[in-house]
Structure 1
Amino acid sequence: MSPDVLRARVADAYDRLGLPSWPPPRPEGVEPRDEEYSRVSDLHKYRVVHGRAHAWTEVLGALPGVVVERLGPVTADRHAFARGVRIVSPVPGTLPLVLLERDAGPTEHGDAVDLLQVALQDASHPLDHGHPDCGCDACDFGSQGLLENIDDQVLSVVAGPFVLLEGKGWKATWYPDGGSMEGDTGAPSDFSAVMRACRALADGGAPRLPRSSTALVGRSWLDD
């Protein structure tokens, strides 16, 4: 099955949920107003990300041999998640995909919007800070782009190969069409060298990795 077929099936499954959509709140090229950065107009509109997770769970769970494990409340990456799933492919060398859902509401740091976090293997290996990456009005670019970002991230893992390289205070991801690196402290200064190392890992090599880093390497779920 091709990634395009998976994407289409997910879109169909999502449409059946009847969730709302909204356009970008500003015309292209128009900068947000200062007050939009500190304003969250609707804590609950981002529940659409949970719907997208349900659609992906349905579609991936229908693939031959795939197992969906339901997760209860879990705390990871400084977030408390109400529920989640761990989706495991039978293809040798693949990495389990974890989808975690946080509900909107008050937290110890103030009100928070609904959130979806994508992780690998278990909840302790998130790929980034979640979807949406920020819930303020200034960072709202419409529902379609948000859902496409989720699809792109999940497909990068499922279509493979995929590499997650983690160090103290930083992480890097690599897949054939791209890669990224983020971190507050300790991140390597040479992004290109990190990407070359990840590519070598994906090819089955044993490159020299940044000090004290570990890697998760997964092949495509779609390999025959």
Structure 2
Amino acid sequence: MTTAADLRARVGAAFARLDLPSWPDPHPDRSPRDEEYSRLTDPARYRVVHARARVWADVLREAGARAEALPAGEGAADRPFDRGVRLTVPRPGTLALLLLERDVRDPFRPDAEALPVLDVAVARPDVVVETQPDCGCDACDTGSADILGTLDEAVARVVGGPFVALRGDGWGAQWYPDGGSAWSSGEGSAHDQHGARMELCRRLVAGEDVSLPPGAEAFVGAPWFG
């Protein structure tokens, strides 16, 4: 049986053969200087997130997934992507995995090098469950191992299943067997609603007939490989 851990090991081995640059966490004590928040020293090094996504796509294809290239420009209006692939397996109840490469340019510095960003989404380009790097400034740099590890975890959670993503007006949540998270941009905090949303996700995975909050969508995925 193919497991998420097996896939991560294959990805790690294949990626190592590419011999791409790596770098340590420049702030192991998490005490960046104030000026680092407005500085992006070397955006090109973040190309590793695009490379990692391509390795994931190759490994999943080898494991039996179907890959479909996506036209550039799709996705949410505020975050169009430049290149993307949609990966699916024929097993019932699974979610499509989308790996979306973005070349993010500074509107105030049009001649500056673009920042490579990778969105991990499910079902549709706008249902993003992870973004790396999540900022890109020097202050928020956590080193290549942490960035790639976070990306790997996001993909493995979808593929390993079960996985749930909830989306509402100004809020969202995701659940997986060993954890979950929630966010909110409106009134009230994500912390206030975390328990209720995690319980809703668990009930969805269990196949219960539940009522979603008004305007909310649920995306529920089974494991890709038995």
TM-score, normalised with respect to structure 1: 0.92
Q: SS of the counterpart of 1:114? A: strand
Asked whether 1:37 is paired with 2:37, we answer yes
How many residues align? The count is: 220
The verdict on how the C-alpha distance between 1:104 and 1:169 changes in structure 2, with shifts beyond 3 A counting, is closer
How many angstroms does 1:9 deviate by?
A: 0.2
Distance 1:202 1:216 in 2: 10
Q: How many Å separate the matches in 2 of 1:49 and 1:30?
A: 22
Separation of aligned partners in 1, 2:150 and 2:89: 22
206, 212, 217: which one pairs with 2:215? 212
1:69-111, CA deviations, whole angstroms, 9 ceiling, x for partnerless residues?
0112124341231101000111110010000001254447876
Could you say which residue in structure 1 is the equivalent of 2:117? 115
Which residue of structure 2 lines up, in the alignment, with residue 46 of structure 1?
Answer: 46
- Counterpart CA distance in 1 for 2:67 and 2:173 is 26
Unaligned runs of 5+ in 1: none
Is contact 2:73–2:80 with CA below 8 Å preserved after alignment?
yes
Q: 1:74 matched to which residue of 2? A: 73
Change (3 A) 1:196 1:3: same
CA RMSD of aligned residues (A): 1.8
Residue 141, structure 1, aligned to residue 146, structure 2 = no
Aligned equivalents of 2:193, 2:62: Cα separation in 1:
41
Distance in 2, Cα, partners of 1:173 & 1:109: 35
Counterpart in 2 of 1:185?
186
Residues 17-36 of structure 1 correspond to what in structure 2 (within 5 A)? 17-26=18-27, 28-36=28-36
- CA change 1:186–1:69 in 2 (3 A) is farther
- Relative to structure 2, which stretch is displaced further, 99-108 or 167-176? 99-108
Going from structure 1 to structure 2, the CA distance change for 1:30 and 1:191 (only over 3 Å counts) comes to: closer
Which residue type is aligned with residue 120 of structure 2? V
Shift of 1:174: 0.4
Runs of 5+ consecutive residues of structure 2 not aligned to the other structure = none
1:11-58 CA distances to partner (integer Å, 9 max, x unpaired)?
1121122211001112x3241000011110012110000011011000
Find out whether 1:60 has 2:63 as its counterpart.
no
Q: Which runs of 4+ in 1 moved over 6 A?
A: none
Aligned to 1:127: 129
C-alpha distance in 2, partners of 1:190/1:119? 23
Instruction: Give, in whole Å, the separation in 1 of the partners of 2:204 and 2:135.
Output: 32
Deviation at 1:68, TM superposition (A): 0.2
